[in-house]
Structure 1
């Protein structure tokens, strides 16, 4: 029997927004911008970032899937050693703020359904906090969340449980009565370590067999959560 739930903490990319549909266009443009049109650099960057230039899709082992912006910048610097990690990180963060968004479900109605259940809602992403704020505002749902944090918000990054526990502490919730919802093992491992219930969704790159060992339940997308909780 499901424990009473008082709060839901979401990952952002691959969870609230479909991963490939949102980030593939951004990745292609960013790789071309960083390589300054040099085809050899473009190919090297794509390989380092786990991006298939022919299919315009991320590979399942892409570091972008669960890494922080700083970690992605460190990957880029391996190909572009003349640029500082800080400069690359800044360029990535600025460009990510305007990435085209593909919500996994109509988010406003979805979040309203959860609010109607009396739940506290949060977002914890390994993206930058500024990008999370910008994208949630772009999607028109920023105000629906009680807590929005990135890897640079001072709480740490997943798979550490610390940023998840920060949400529980801020909302005065027992972690055992919080759901962590995500599309990667980073999300779910962090949730388990925090003592939370875990929900996996398949709107990222990982497949069900990869996620199910770490999840209490696996759904095609987040749209299944309100009915599951209400039941």
Structure 2
């Protein structure tokens, strides 16, 4: 395995509380009492455009902007690092494994999160919402990362906390791994048949050695 492509939210940085609270803030203002935090869990993974098109397409741009403003203002106080994530990334980098982010998030917010983690220097490529026409589960972002890294598909793995990541990886023809710390649960991810389920980020060290 020569290259690892990581989803960001819920995979490398625990943004679950931030995302849920942001949706609750925006939706409670527009639809008082109609949404619960449990409802908002379903919005983790899809792009904002996809989510708000389903909820209120006539106010799509306005809702996305309100979401982004509150999310940015509260980002640093509501996110937390996953135990062992940065340490594992550093060890993978030392081994010469090429690391990239493939996310449905805007590049600026991905980089903000990476800087907060102290991990920005470990990634040679970020593919975000700004870089593609179609987001995961479409394979375009994964294929773009492969193209930019100039690696063979057989040497690449896509890692994420949602089915979007696994399906995008499968459609792109690469190995896939789900993370057991996904808010949606290991059992949920397993039904999409990833090649691996990571119990801890450090599992990747064994996988790259054996592959």
* Aligned residue number for residue 90 of structure 1: 65
**Per-residue deviation, residues 44-70 of structure 1 (Å, max 9, x unmatched):** 2x25xxx23xxxx854xx1x2221122
SS at match of 1:158: coil
Gaps of 5+ in 1: none
CA distance in 1, matches of 2:99, 2:26: 36
* Aligned residue number for residue 7 of structure 1: 3
> How do 1:91-106 and structure 2 match up within 5 A?
91-97=66-72, 98-99=74-75, 100-106=78-84
CA distance in 2, matches of 1:58, 1:223: 29
Task: Pick from 203, 207, 210 the counterpart of residue 228 of structure 1.
Answer: 207
- Conserved in 2, the CA contact under 8 Å of 1:93 and 1:131? no
* Aligned residue number for residue 17 of structure 1: 13
CA deviation after TM superposition for structure 1 residue 125, in Å = 1.1
* Aligned residue number for residue 42 of structure 1: 32
CA distance in 2, matches of 1:221, 1:155: 32
Gaps of 5+ in 2: none
CA deviation after TM superposition for structure 1 residue 16, in Å = 0.7
* Aligned residue number for residue 149 of structure 1: 127
> How do 1:1-231 and structure 2 match up within 5 A?
5-18=1-14, 22-28=15-21, 30-32=23-25, 34-36=27-29, 41-44=31-34, 46=35, 51-52=37-38, 58-59=40-41, 62=42, 64-77=43-56, 84-97=59-72, 98-99=74-75, 100-212=78-190, 213-231=192-210
Higher helix proportion (structure 1 or 2): 2
CA distance in 2, matches of 1:108, 1:8: 14
SS at match of 2:129: coil
CA distance in 1, matches of 2:8, 2:178: 13
TM-score normalised over the length of structure 1: 0.79
CA distance in 1, matches of 2:22, 2:196: 35
CA deviation after TM superposition for structure 1 residue 26, in Å = 4.7
CA deviation after TM superposition for structure 1 residue 29, in Å = 5.1
SS at match of 1:9: strand
CA distance in 2, matches of 1:138, 1:200: 24
**Per-residue deviation, residues 187-225 of structure 1 (Å, max 9, x unmatched):** 111111111011111222233333224211112232321
CA distance in 1, matches of 2:180, 2:156: 20
